[in-house]
Structure 1
Amino acid sequence: MSRESLEWLNANTLIGFTEKRGTAWHYRASMQGEKPNHYSGPIPVDDVKRRLFGWEALSKPIYVEDPRGGLAEVPGRQAILRSDNGHVMGIFSDSYEPHPYVEWLINTISRLLDADLSIGSAGLLKGGAVAWVSVEVPENVVTPEGVEFRPHLFGATSFDGSLATTFKRAVTNIVCDNTMAAGLAERGQQVKIKHSRHSKIRLAEAREALHIVYALADEFSAAVRDLCRVEISGREWQAFLDAQVPMPRQRGRSRTIAENKRDTLAKLWNHDLRVTPWRGTAWGVVQAVNTFTHHEQNVRGAERAERNMLRAVTGGIDELDQGTLCTLSKVLGRPLTL
């Protein structure tokens, strides 16, 4: 199967609470099927099961051509494939234990969370080899600084070996439909379960480690407040650009790429409504880099749609936002205390 595209995301993701968040950045009306993948309110659990997870991941033996004729089974190996179309999602040793999506995402999350939390998004990537379900509160949170966001809990797993079953906190920034790190200064708390025999999730430990979703709203709001209080002068913004995107001395492709990136970041900083309300603050710096990476950065070897979704699911967003703050701290010569 080909890499994810806009067509794939419009057919294999479900987006809820559009009355609160608007349509997803990848929404295209012309690519919707008979039933749109956007919901004004929460996504019904049965729709996730039927529209996304209505197939099984099967474990099958692997055979190779025997030079003497016929086929020979490969000992100690298994292939994981989709029951509906035969797509091979991964090849593993016999010790690999698949985590079925309905059991590990839908059923586990429903046991983890309170009744007033609902599914806000769900989807498949990599031909179905990666899946996520996100649960959210019904209402957006708006900070006094004008930052509107939705706290949520991601549950994600894979059948290609790229991702342990993971439950982690994250934030969707409404103004740009970007996923942002929950912890900002520190890695967002998460629970990971390997795909091994006898693997299981201990719900009490997961609940304690994740603090669920409600505490996240207060923590993220406090982080935004602190970052908005850190003033960034024009000179400090230029110093940040120098540190974030060093300019090669010799002319050539690398210098051209750096110049284009710096120009785009400058346009976001000075003219883009997703950034300009917080220009001149540390939060504006985080917002500029996050928006650039989600919507402007050139992508090699992967569709931007796939890259953004995978970054949100696998933790790349944490590294992105924390890396921005780390660079800014070095420029300012002091740690950003959040």
Structure 2
Amino acid sequence: MVNIENVTVTFQTKEASFKAVDAINLQIQEGEIFGIVGTSGAGKSTLIRTINLLQKPTSGKIWIAGEDITEYTGLKLRTIRHTIGMIFQHFNLIHTKTVFDNVAFPMVIAGASKEAILQRVPALLELVGLSDKMHVYPSTLSGGQKQRVGIARSLANNPRILLCDEPTSALDLETTNAILDLLKEINKKLGITTILITHEMDVIKKICNKVAVMDKGVVVETGSVYDIFSLPEHPFTQKLVAHTLNLELPFRILQDVQGRLIKVVYNGDRAEEPILSDAIRTFGVDINVLHGKIEYIDEKPLGVLLLNINASSAQIEQIISYLKERTASVEVFHG
């Protein structure tokens, strides 16, 4: 559906030029929810805006449904943009217009008939749970309700692609989860290809099928969300995942721990198997669990344990080998 081919965006200042996006290649399949994650300044917003050419690439190509749209202008550009909806971080509602008129606005711009608008807008407001807010103004709405209006507006022209630019970063946790559930429901109901950027791995974990990790304008790692969480390869990705899974131990524990400290990742069906108790029985040593959890990512279990093993070096190596044969990964942290 969307193919980003060797895209670079360079900005020029008085002193120098810098690459906000550097030679990025991504393939996003029809109907999936694709996340782009990175810290502030990673180039996420610049990249997503190249997809609808709000930001023209300095070099490279943007393909949509097999069409190279990079050089589109005028009518061709307006036509392709009607197939791409966009949700903004700060809602971007018109405060002098009612909720109905905000949602209808893209249809008016596209030249839709009054009858089409009267039919579609109420259906969209019902989809996002705001049928009772049709004739009120944005100033009376909560942040979550404003974002629901933004979502309805983004769907007005029945787009094939939905771009989400940090759609939950201005919302509290409960509202964030509700908005993410809504986006997932819309993706499932409408089959709309959804591309979402965020600085929060929790958002990626909750909603996305695939993810690209960006750092300093470069995509450092891509893959299924499950694979990225279970076996992150790049150090930057590993740091993001560790922070999200909350596996960082207090310094005091790290300072005082005796023996070997290891992290074990279980994935798939093995996340629910008694591998650790089997290891204790097999080798007859105590294994102390310092931290552990099982998460469900993309409806698949992922187990992570931080273990302390205090035994002879030979025994520890045997246990590590045993665990490596039965788990996704084993990493020695200490000792």
TM-score range, shorter chain: under 0.3
Choose between structure 1 and 2: higher strand proportion.
2
Specify the structure having the higher radius of gyration (Cα).
Answer: 2
TM-score, length basis structure 1: 0.25
TM-score, length basis structure 2: 0.25
